[in-house]
Amino acid sequence: MKHREEIIGDCRLILGDCREAIQALPRIDCVITDPPYEIVATGGGIGGKRKYLADITDFTDCGFDYSLLSGFDNWVVFGTLKQVPKLITQADGERWMLIVWNKPNPTPLCGGNYLPDTEYIIHRFSKGMLFGGYKDKSRFIIHPCEQGKEHPNEKPIPVMMKVVSNASGKGMTILDPFMGSGTTGVACVNLGRKFIGIEIEEKYFDIACRRIEKATKNKPRLFDALPKPKQMALI
């Protein structure tokens, strides 16, 4: 498997397995991530033939190891309704909040179930680690789904900026161990946070590098003269 690192502005991007890369990271102020969901990515009729389901099967529908969160006091994790109880259990012992993202334009395919118009977010935070003013601390987000994305599970930048604003202050370091196409990193650049992103798929790593480089132009640096790492290819 290839391993590579890029420094783009105040962002450190790592191509590799997050379970290995996390061990060598410096102090992190908060984890903000949209990890693989636990869902059944199959269905009957027209819905079962959707390209989205084919894109995520055996890729982002298999869940993740919750113990990855155990070393961090503050984290924001997106998940399905099935994952909410597990995330709440993982948050035990600290303050936590359930946040919901409502989509006014959900996919109009629901069969005999409710519309897929809601995603769930758990924010676990320690004392003094909830940021933003009165108007920023709403427990729900209303924002439409966006088309033309570069990753099957890519979140809108305004949604990620909302959670970054609540979970961190300017200059803090945010980690996304499931970086995907880099939306968390773009939100961090826009809001003046340092960012470390890890992605295992080279295709999406390259997309994240491009998006974050574009967002970083004309932004002031926060890291102290980080050297550009050597590129490595390891088997």
Residues of the chain with pLDDT under 50: 41-60, 224-235
| Model confidence, pTM | 0.82
* pLDDT of the residue at 198: 98
Q: Is residue 200 part of a domain?
A: yes
| 234 in a structural domain | no
Domain membership of residue 131 (yes or no) is: yes
Domain of residue 112: give its range: 4-216
Residue 231 included in any domain: no
pLDDT at residue number 37? 86
Q: How many whole angstroms separate alpha carbon 121 and alpha carbon 106?
A: 17
Domain count for the chain, please give it.
1
pLDDT for 150 equals: 77
At 154, give phi and psi (nearest 5°): -65, 135
pLDDT of amino acid 17: 95
Q: Count how many residues are written for the chain.
A: 235
Instruction: Report if residue 170 sits inside a domain.
Output: yes
Side chain identity at 111, as an amino acid letter? G
Share the mean pLDDT of the chain: 84
Q: Is 165 a domain residue?
A: yes
Residue 224 is assigned to a structural domain of this protein: no
Q: What is the DSSP string of 105-159?
A: S--S--TTS--S-EEEEEEEE-TT---S-GGGG-SEEE----SS-SSTTPPPHHH
In a domain, 184, yes or no: yes
> For residue 85, what is the domain's CATH number?
3.40.50.150
Residue 64's pLDDT is what? 87
Q: Return the axis-axis angle of helices 183-191 and 202-216, rounded to nearest 10°.
A: 20
